[in-house]
């Protein structure tokens, strides 16, 4: 049983790595190599293993694997018609890589040829005739759940507001609070019958720092979830999203509200926020390397432009590209003093235009898919929703 768990865990890792990194990235090859070793261990031990993915259960040779109960990938694979995987004979490494590629294509919703699996001698996969396992989860409407969640988000916004005020006043970054806010956001998004992506418009809090940071955290975590990243990475994305604009606590509000016509001094201030933010994060805790890197890189573009401009150009961390998409989405979706909020189709057009130049094409494509596929989960909540939730709770 342990070999079965290890193999499925490595398969999930291969699928999420493929979501995050482009095809020729060395990490993809490394994860595939590790997965193949796990597969060999499994075949040595079990002969011809059979996995079945039900709604909440993973069956291995007909018996439930308890440690993989509610395993996210079971539902995902079942939803794209892979409810059963059988491994026969002695698979070759290339064959395993091809199998993973086919699963990725299916998960991405890309066209696949009807005989795409016929070439694979050792892997058989498909439906098992359990209709309910293949059906997409039913959207129950985010109304009640959303209102309940937004009441909680008000508390988190207050906590984050305090954290940012402390930094604004020159005091230390309270990382414990940031960590708790990220945890609470993640838990609230998953708390109901359906996954929820609330986009907050809370007028009693600063739209440029507190509310924007929460939204970027929420959208980044949602995108991480969509890509199938693990819980640790999703939490890291939450922390990185909350802190990506920390350096803006050093910029006067009047400058933040401007769209253009910056003086040279103001422009220098604006462009310095990634560097200042990264430094503030590392001063608080040296172990926060990823959030510091994301804060530093979130205005660097995929083609090497943007700011800051490091002396020695190098590719950005993929999580920076990921948070950048969430950042752009929320910036455009929020009303600003100088313009109305953009509609979703207008934002998608901006993302399409910048794909390959401003944005990592692989991730931009995924982000647009999330917006399309999870459209009903993305809902705007404001103070009125929170007030209704408080009334409902009393």
* Residues near Fe ion (CB under 5 A): 245, 327
How far is 150 from 204, CA to CA, in rounded Å? 14
Q: With respect to Fe ion, which residue has the nearer C-beta, 142 or 251?
A: 251
Q: How far is the CB of 135 from Fe ion (least distance, A)?
A: 38
Q: How far is the CB of 89 from Fe ion (least distance, A)?
A: 52
Q: With respect to Fe ion, which residue has the nearer C-beta, 3 or 327?
A: 327
Handedness of CA 340, 333, 343, 203 (dihedral sign): negative
Q: How far is the CB of 273 from Fe ion (least distance, A)?
A: 6
Q: With respect to Fe ion, which residue has the nearer C-beta, 91 or 247?
A: 247
Q: How far is the CB of 347 from Fe ion (least distance, A)?
A: 15
Q: With respect to Fe ion, which residue has the nearer C-beta, 39 or 325?
A: 325
* 22 token code pair: 């482009």
Q: How far is the CB of 301 from Fe ion (least distance, A)?
A: 13
Those residues with Cβ within 8 angstroms of residue 74's Cβ, 6 or more apart along the chain or in another chain: 53, 54, 55, 56, 57, 58, 68
Q: How far is the CB of 250 from Fe ion (least distance, A)?
A: 12
Q: With respect to Fe ion, which residue has the nearer C-beta, 156 or 327?
A: 327
Of 190, 200, 223, the C-alpha closest to 371 is: 223
Q: How far is the CB of 244 from Fe ion (least distance, A)?
A: 6
How far is 307 from 296, CA to CA, in rounded Å? 9
For residues 270 and 257, the answer to whether their CB atoms sit within 8 Å is no
Q: With respect to Fe ion, which residue has the nearer C-beta, 78 or 282?
A: 282
Q: With respect to Fe ion, which residue has the nearer C-beta, 104 or 326?
A: 326
The strand pairing partners of 198, in sequence order, are 379
The residue count of the chain comes to 394
Q: How far is the CB of 163 from Fe ion (least distance, A)?
A: 16
Rounded to 10°, the helix 72-79/2-20 angle is 70
Beta strand 50-53 pairing with 84-87:
antiparallel
Q: How far is the CB of 270 from Fe ion (least distance, A)?
A: 9
- Three-state SS at 308: coil
Q: With respect to Fe ion, which residue has the nearer C-beta, 16 or 324?
A: 324
Q: With respect to Fe ion, which residue has the nearer C-beta, 35 or 247?
A: 247
Q: Residue 249 half-sphere exposure, CB side, CA atoms within 13 Å?
A: 28
Rounded to 10°, the helix 175-189/212-227 angle is 60
Residue reference for tokens 């040296």: 286
Helices (H), the chain: 2-20, 26-46, 72-79, 93-108, 131-134, 143-168, 175-189, 212-227, 231-243, 253-256, 264-271, 273-284, 289-297, 318-333, 344-354, 361-373, 383-393
How far is 239 from 339, CA to CA, in rounded Å? 29
């Amino acid at each position: 049983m342990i070999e079965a768990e290890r193999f499925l865990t490595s398969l999930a890792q291969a699928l999420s790595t493929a979501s995050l990194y482009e095809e020729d990235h060395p990490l993809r090859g490394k994860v595939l190599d590790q997965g193949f070793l796990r597969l060999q261990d499994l075949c040595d031990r079990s002969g011809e293993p059979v996995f079945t993915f039900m709604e909440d259960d993973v069956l291995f040779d007909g018996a439930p694997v308890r440690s993989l109960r509610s395993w996210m990938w079971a539902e995902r694979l079942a939803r794209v018609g892979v409810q059963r995987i059988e491994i026969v004979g002695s698979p070759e490494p290339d064959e395993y890589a091809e199998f993973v590629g086919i699963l990725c294509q299916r998960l991405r919703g890309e066209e696949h040829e009807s005989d795409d699996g016929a070439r694979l001698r050792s892997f058989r996969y498909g439906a098992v005739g359990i209709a309910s396992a293949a059906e997409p989860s039913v959207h129950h409407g985010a109304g009640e759940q959303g209102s309940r969640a937004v009441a909680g988000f008000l508390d988190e916004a207050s906590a984050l507001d305090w954290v940012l005020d402390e930094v604004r006043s020159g005091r230390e970054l309270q990382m414990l609070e940031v960590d708790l806010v990220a945890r609470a956001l993640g838990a609230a998004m998953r708390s109901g019958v359906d996954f929820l992506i609330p986009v907050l418009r809370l007028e009693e809090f600063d739209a440029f720092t507190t509310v924007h940071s929460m939204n970027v955290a929420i959208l980044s975590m949602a995108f991480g979830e969509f890509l199938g990243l693990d819980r640790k990475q999703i939490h890291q994305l939450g922390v990185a999203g909350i802190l990506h604009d920390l350096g803006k606590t050093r910029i006067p509000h009047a400058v933040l509200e401007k769209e253009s016509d910056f003086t040279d001094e103001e422009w220098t201030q604006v462009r310095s926020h990634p560097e200042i933010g990264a430094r503030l994060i590392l001063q608080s805790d040296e172990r926060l390397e990823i959030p510091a890197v994301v804060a530093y890189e979130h205005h660097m573009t995929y083609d090497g432009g943007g700011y800051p401009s490091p002396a020695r150009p190098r590719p950005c961390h993929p999580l920076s590209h990921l948070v950048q998409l969430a950042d752009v989405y929320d910036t455009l979706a929020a009303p600003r003093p100088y313009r109305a909020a953009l509609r979703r189709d207008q934002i998608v057009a901006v993302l399409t235009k910048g794909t390959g130049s401003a944005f990592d094409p692989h991730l931009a494509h995924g982000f647009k898919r999330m917006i399309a596929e999870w459209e009903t989960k993305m809902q705007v909540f404001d103070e009125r929703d929170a007030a209704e939730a408080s009334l409902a709770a009393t």
